[in-house]
Structure 1
Amino acid sequence: MTRRLFTGLAALCSAILCGLAGIPPAAAEEQAFRIGIAPHTSARVIIEQYQPVRRAVEAALGRPVEIVTAPDFTAFARRAVDQDYDIAVTTGHQAQLLREDAGYLPLLTYKSDFRAVVVTAAKGPYRTAASLAGTTVLGLSPSSLVTLWGQHWLADGKLPDIQLRYVSAADSVAQLILAGDASAGFMSRANRAKLAPEVQAQLSTIAESGPMAGRVYMLNGKASALAEPLRKALFAFGETAEGKSYFDVNQLGGYRPVTDEELAAMEPLADEVRRVLKAGK
């Protein structure tokens, strides 16, 4: 009898412990809302730069919010497609991919134009597109918008024997060019402006794209009920002193709605990202 009672109690305790293990973490500590930022610069800079946005979203949701990124644009796209982010902030071509292929919803974008630039060392020998023939040129990853634009720019110029090398961030592009390890590199105009003044002074811009759909806030479709509250909260943040300072420091101009038409215009480049993901690069 005693043995049966002990066995029954042990089984009951085991069941209770298993049940406790199955309780969602929210019962003790709510899971953080994840805002994924495409890796346009180093992770340290991204996390620091987006703290005002994190605080605004955290206040609106009343739950913890964390800023995360990825090693490169391809990894970021793959993680976003795999639903790793509650909000993904990425350039228009990946935003279009996430809208069409992964059920994300566009929230808003920035007012400032997004443009890609080709930079070289100001005191170096590479002053024109033709001078880049037979050299190494740097991009951010096979699926970044500035790299895809740059590759088309190189192809349009019919420049022979270009070796394209991928690096992690815009500041790395600048460092390698100034060290003489590459002739030129692609980055966004905004990231060029974020480089240290002494680094900017040593760079020359030899080509610039037209305006393209820049960083777009895309909401995971599983959180669609939050679309309007988050949109309103972010626009309200933009009117605060902290929001205005955030826009000024990062030269973003404020928030604005993003249209279906400007995302649809990015479909050809979104398709290039699909090919990169399919190839497993």
Structure 2
Amino acid sequence: MSSKPLPTDLPIHTFPSAKEWEAFLDREHATAPGCYIKLAKKSAGVGSISSAEAVEVALCFGWIDGRANGVDENWWLVRYTPRRSKSIWSQKNVNTVARLVEEGRMRPAGVAAVDAAKADGRWARAYDGPATITLSDDLTVALGAAPTASAFFEGLSKSERYTVLWRVQTASPQTRAKRIEAIVEMLAGGNVPGRAPRPQTLPKNKQAVKKTTAKKSKVRQTPASVDMVIAQSPPPMTEPRQPRRPGLRARG
């Protein structure tokens, strides 16, 4: 595996253990915009903080991890930044924080991030991982009323199904019904949220009309409800920590 160019937007650090990462955040968590951490792959034979350790320390200080990308045959690179005010929580991180609280490891900044999430409802809406997420009652009812959408949903891959369920689970109470309506509309049209819409096949006698119309209008209009769903950017199959094998990407 050849080395990939390293990002330059944030500093890159290598920490031999969780102790050094904790010391860094103790100094920098309130002022640093973020950083990248190089995590050694298991096959590298190099001493390095593990992905799980890095996430735990980050949560203690109100930071969160991003997607893991392979650098070369020995290293992963993961972006860590302060958690944003509207950042959604995973159930896995909620459970991890509960343990960190019991162990007395949470710092004021981490506690503040948790309190903010509890105050605005993000804590209660923490999303499940691919192995535990389930089909909600309201989505079940909506799909039951739309046989075409339901049939298409049943044929989706695991990752595509997770994308749909994740979007429903992370919706706020105010937007949940509209999001479900928009998702069902997309599924009925043979499309998956977050995936490019499939091209429509027109009868031959209508193709010429379509070409003429395309020349007059270069902007394709889509329903506002569909745009709302597409605009959402989930980290499907999230809460990864260290990827299982080279080539897989992770996100947290």
TM-score normalized with structure 1 length: 0.23
Flag the structure with higher helix content: 1
Flag the structure with higher strand content: 1
- Indicate the structure (1 or 2) with the bigger Cα radius of gyration: 1
Greater RCO structure (CA 8 Å; 6+ sep): 1
